[in-house]
Chain A
Amino acid sequence: MTLEKNYFDYPHRSFGMDHQRYDWSMLSQRNPVQWPQGKKLAVWINVPLQFYPLDQKGVPFKVPGGMTMPYPDLRHFSLRDYGNRVGIFRFLKAFDKYNVAPTFAFNTKLADQNRYLLDCIKERNNEILCHGLHMDALHYGGQDLTEEADLVSQSVDRLRELSGQEINGWISPARNESENTPELLAKNGINYFCDWVNDDMPYQFNTKEGPLWAMPLSNELEDKFILLNNLHSEDSYVEQIIDACDFLLEEAKTQGGRILALNIHPWMLGQPHRISALEQVLEYVMAQDVWNVSSSEILGAFQKN
Chain B
Amino acid sequence: MKSDPGFYDYWPYQNRPKIRWPDGKKMAFWVAPNIEFYELNPPANPYRKAWPQPSPATPGYSIRDYGNRVGHIRQMELLDKYGIRGSISLSTALCDHHPEIIQMCKERNWEFFSHGIYNTRYTYGMSEQQERDMIKDSMETIYKHTQQKCAGYLAPALSHSELTLDLFAEVGSELFGDQGGIYTCDLFHDDQPTPIKLRSNKKFVSIPYSLEMNDTIAFVVNKIEPRRYGQMLKRNFDRLYAEGDESGTIMCIPTHNYQVSCPHRMKAYEEALDYITSHDDIWVTTGREIADYFIENYYEDALADINQKARIA
Contacts and interface: CB of A to CB of B under 8 A. Distances in A.
B66 to A, nearest CB: 5
A27 B73 contact: yes
A175 B99 contact: no
A240 B263 CA distance: 9
B35 to A, nearest CB: 12
A195 interface: yes
A220 B53 contact: no
B106 interface: no
A18 B121 CA distance: 14
Contact of A7 (B41, B45, B99, B264): B45
Nearest to B228: A236
A14 B130 CA distance: 22
Given A7-B43, A10-B117, A232 B263 contact: no
Q: Which of A140, A197, A251 has the largest count of B CB atoms less than 10 A from its CB?
A: A197
B52 interface: yes
A68 B256 CA distance: 31
B203 interface: no
A165 to B, nearest CB: 25
Given A3-B126, A9-B43, A219-B63, A24 B97 contact: yes
Please tell me the size bucket of the interface on A: 35 or more
B163 interface: no
Interface stretch (B189-197, B219-227, B243-251, B299-307): B219-227
Nearest to A200: B70
B229 to A, nearest CB: 11
Q: Which of B37, B43, B56, B57 has the largest count of A CB atoms less than 10 A from its CB?
A: B56
Interface string A108-129: 0000000000000000000000
B97 A176 contact: no
Given A7-B121, A29-B100, A229-B223, A12 B70 contact: no
Given A24-B97, A220-B262, A248-B263, A3 B54 contact: no
A2 B130 contact: yes
A141 interface: yes
A140 B43 contact: no
Nearest to A255: B73
A221 interface: yes
A241 interface: yes
A16 B69 CA distance: 11
Interface string A1-15: 111101111101111
A179 B125 contact: no
A232 B229 CA distance: 13
A220 B264 CA distance: 9
Nearest to B268: A243
A244 interface: yes
Interface string B61-101: 11111101110111000000000000000000100111111
Contacts, number: 160
B12 interface: no
B126 A60 contact: no
B150 interface: no
Interface in A203-261: 218-221, 229-233, 236, 239-241, 243-248, 251, 260
B266 interface: yes
B134 interface: yes
B40 interface: yes
Contact of A240 (B46, B65, B225): B225
Interface string B262-274: 1111111000000
Contact of A177 (B58, B126, B133): B58
A95 B264 CA distance: 23
Can you list the 6 inter-chain pairs with the closest CB atoms, starting with the nearest?
A: A141-B54, A198-B65, A244-B263, A244-B264, A198-B62, A240-B264
Given A10-B93, A218-B262, 12 more contacts: A2-B130, A4-B43, A13-B117, A14-B97, A17-B40, A141-B53, A176-B53, A177-B58, A179-B55, A197-B62, A221-B262, A240-B225
25 contacts: A2-B126, A2-B127, A3-B126, A3-B127, A8-B130, A8-B133, A10-B117, A13-B93, A13-B117, A14-B97, A17-B97, A18-B97, A19-B40, A27-B70, A61-B52, A140-B53, A172-B58, A176-B57, A176-B59, A198-B66, A219-B63, A240-B264, A243-B263, A247-B263, A248-B263
